[in-house]
Structure 1
Amino acid sequence: MIGKILGNRYEIVEKIGGGGMALVYKAKCNLLNRYVAVKILRSEFTSDKDIIDKFRRESQAAASLSHPNIVNIYDVGEEEDIYYIVMEYVKGQTLKQLIQEKDKLSLQEIINFTKQIAMALQHAHYNHVIHRDIKPHNILIAEDNRAKVTDFGIALAATTSTITNMGSVIGSVHYFSPEQARGGYIDEKSDLYSLGIVMYEMATGKVPFEGESPISVALKHIQQEPVIPSEVYPEIAPGLEEIILKLIEKDQASRYQNTQSLIEDLETLKEDASANYMSDPINHEDSPTQIIPRIKEEDIQDVKKSPSKSPGKNKKKNNKVLIVSAVAAALIAALLFTFGLFYVSNLFKTEEVEVPNLVGKSIDVARVEANQLGLELKETSMASSEVPINEIIDQTTPSGRKVKPGFAIEVVVSTGPTPVKVPNLVYKEATDAPFILENEGLQAGTPSYVFDELPIGTIIEQDPKEGTSVPEGTTVTYTVSQGPRVVTFPMPKLVGLSLEVAKNRIQQYNLQEGSFVEEHSDEHPEGQVFFQNPAFESEVQENDVVDLIVSKGPKPIEEIEEPDPEDNNNDEPEDSVNTSTNNLSTQNVTINFKGHTGVVDIVIKSILSGKEVVNIKHDVAKDGSSALVTLTGSGAQEFELYVNGRKQDNIKVNFKN
């Protein structure tokens, strides 16, 4: 690959990295004379349509973002089964390399890098893009210590550090969230969990969960609480530890709900490293272990129960204590009987019910099912392009858990695809419409075509209209101009009409007047048209130009000088011209001039007199490669044919007198 030029522009210089799905090269942009990074899909995936589509979606997701802490996308292309993305070249190293080099980062470095990553994620989340694969390998640290997030939109990475779920990879196993591990609903808080794992590694030099296989690591994300960072590195700032632990909470609702809150706490930590960020301490032993449907039961290790403490020894009581205790017990029993016996008896008689699996069911069906079990639903909504509207995406209380009647099950209900606004297509080129719509998450419908004054290929209408809010994936149809309608009709006959009448006829048919030439004619009276171009009944359209030749009447008779009687040479010259009108006649001659195109000039000269007898223009495209002309003379005569100023042939005519 080294030395290869992609897109006639990007010359591969050296390999600088790679992952399970793609390789990254440093390249020289010969057009702008700068270095870029080129990510190339591995050759073993170029026949997999799904992977190619995901690779393209990565470029689309990143190209929609513009932020100083996100690597810019410059170009995307395909050449000889090579699929590539051209990105900003960041001179420096990855955050993973920096951690390996320093083992642990300082508090100020952690705050600085985390804040920059959080601002990049904030911009992405605002634009409805979830990274799904935040890890130190995807954070580039430039020489000026600027952090830049890369690899946006990746949904597949075929390496041992990833897990495949339902046919698609959902992230890097050491950094992804519990909901990614169990194939649950992923949102912005999933990126924040991964960022918390990255902070843990920056602060301690280790990741919180290790295992012999990706499955074992994934199970630890779901089941086990991490070792508290201060146990790995006792000198860690307490405030930093609290932020990390809040980010990597198992329950999404217990984490930071947005990046802005995290950025604010980082600012506070920068000013006071001992600041406390949580009103309630985190219980690291009370997070319940949940059965993950997409991980086999035999992969789950038994959770060891902590042994209970043995009861203490009985102490001897003196009589006074016994009496006081007995009186107190009697009073408590009386109070319980008076005020709470009925409530307590009902409480202990209540039977628990099992939480049903509601994921994938419509909210209406779920309400009925919950009501029949004496349970309630606490509903929140979320847009989804994969789950149909009003269908439950996820439930926070796992199915199978025993709860008391009246318990509220939290469910996330799909509102359907995220609404997007239809872009403006009117006056744009029809060939650009599919790309414009695809960038907005919409589909291009089959265009219709009509005649219009706008140029050919220009969009003149669209449905839905610009600015309309529609679900993602909606099909947008549009109408394309075919240009003005071209109306053709047979050329009217003008030969035999007077010049004035012929001009009126030209105007009536919306034709344009061309050249009007006057020539002598023995057959047509003065002022009458005896030649037209285009010819009668040939196909013409509006605004075509019409040329006419109008008769000047017969040629005047030239007087012949009487020979001088004294002239000894009384013989008539052999080449003398008999100009008597009684000896003249006309004859139509077809002239062929193949090999010529466009409008040609036709000139015919008499060899006998040396004069031009025909001078006309002929449109080959409209009237063909032959023309009919009328020649006048007597006896056998010969003429010269000139086309566009060059002699083409001699014409011999035998006039019948």
Structure 2
Amino acid sequence: MEGQILGNRYELIEKIGGGGMALVYKAKCSLLNRFVAVKILRQEFTNDQEFVKRFRIEAQSAASLSYPNIVSIYDVGQEGNIHYIVMEYIEGVTLKDYIAEKGALDWKEAVNIELQICSAIEHAHKKRIVHRDIKPHNILITKDGIVKVTDFGIARAVSSSTITMVGSTIGSVHYFSPEQARGGFTDEKSDLYSLGIALYEMVTGKVPFDGETPVAIALKHLQEMPEEPINIKGDLPKGVNSIIMKAIQKEQSNRYSTATELLNDLRMVLNDPSSVPSTKIDIDNSPTRRIQIVQPDKPIETVVKEPQVKEVPAKETQEEEIDDMKNKKKDRVTWILAIATSLLIIGIFVFIAFKFIGPSIMPPAKSDFVLENYEGKNIDDVKQALEGEGITVVVERKNDKSVEKDIIITQKPKEGTKIKPDPYNPVTFSVSNGPEMVKIPDLSKKTSREAQKILEDYNLIARVEDEFSDVITSGLVVRTEPGIDEEVSPGSSVTIYLSKGPEIIQTVVPNLIGLTRVQAQKALSDNKLTLGKVLPEDSANHVDKIVNQDPPPNTTVTERSAVNITLETVNTNTQIPNQGATPNGNHTPTPLKASEVSVSIPLENADSFGETVRVLIEMTPSDTKKSTVIMDGTVNKQDFPLAVKVPVPENGSTNIKVYVDNKPNSDMNVDYPGGR
């Protein structure tokens, strides 16, 4: 279905997941220009009215939930036989994949994740919605570590009378409750059981019940208690172990009654790992019943036995009965006197113990503690003071842009409340984490539009400025201010610096005429210019002077531009009188008698040049091998071919090289007339 557009705005990009009921696609919303997730009911269920009804119920129930730890629902629609829900797109991993990658999690990390899941479930329960399929596969963890609960696919209002599908049980076999396994009544406590199983898997790295078939696993949920997680992971606090074992009790009445109770215990253990929550089981809701023994080969029968009455033999005579009655009366008086005496003696000893011995060995009972108004104070100072009095402190943090970090916003109970030091009667403080901060993303090498869109998604204001860059292509982001990963509050301004490309700086070409090659290189370097082509090409004499340069002196050019130079050369028509040995013992070749030959110089690729061109002609006779420039100037293109007279040594040849606009254009050899 990739590429299909639903509702004239949601373009399906790729499939990213799926379950037994629906497929999930990543899509692009053309109206709001953002990525979304689209859940589409599987085609095999579109003709099943019961499945379509459940799919709509999912949308209605989930759309009513608005909470940071619950995936948001944006839209619901139908196009032909396609039923779909549009929801928030989360970039992250499932809790199941996270556990598979890291193995057993640190108990603090696991409890933090459980707190976020439980707070989401608490919000849903307050809306009278039971998830009924809590499992790590339905828990997403964003790149920022935020936990999101998704897939309220089998959630149903508690008031609904329908509990299961015909012939099937709702839920996932490794995580569902015993009542779900037997197709019984499910309520909020079923979600709490699944939360306990999920926490068990987080701290141990494995599920408590496993088997070869779903039926085998379901029977273990009904009949067995798993190995306690503290026996698998020895460093697990007892409090966390107690929370898990209470949450996964078989009887619903023995579990946590609400998600709020579970939240309170999780916070208490996270704050004080040594604390152990109450695991008291309510036996009043489990009255003693007569249980029939089930035998595979016999039907169940109700058996009621008549009570047996022991027969007492009658007395032989009335006198014997009277004697027995007298003896019993005497025995009863004796027993009463003995009991009274014993009680009196015990009472005396107890009085002496409490009066004289008790105060020396038993500390006096602590009196009630009266709470002050702690709002506006630092939590560390308040916590230290209260814990010194034996008061348990629970801290709930939240972002608040108007209150500094670590300052108490509210307290519960209020000022003036009398409480006794009791680990199960804590004081809860709402503490500021300061304003919610946003990390600056990496926008380097993105276009201005892309960068501004990303900052807008982060609720930040973009300001654009230009700057030169020798590295980043023009039009792309060089850097931001503040920089990558720096934290700022939402609504802050972020400056995006876009590349203008390398900075172009102008400079003036110096006058190189009369300088040697070495002197020219120094002058060019001082003006941030480079030496270009050197003519003649085979010139190696360091004392030769420059007779021409291109560009000319005092021309304005861009820094690092190249300047071409032409060095002075010896006229080949000049006779060299000394043909003997040079001081170093070498012989200088004597130029032979030369004949002038008229040569026609063509312009190769004439269409690639302008109306005027710069022409340099260099000749090299075969006898002296000394290159000479015979022409260096600007001519009109229409003057080609040029007629040039070239001296050719007797019985030899002369090589002609032509440069047009400083580029090689033609190369030819001219032979001595009349042959060699």
Give the TM-score normalised by structure 1.
0.42
Q: Scaled by the length of structure 2, what TM-score is found?
A: 0.41
Larger Rg over CA atoms: 2
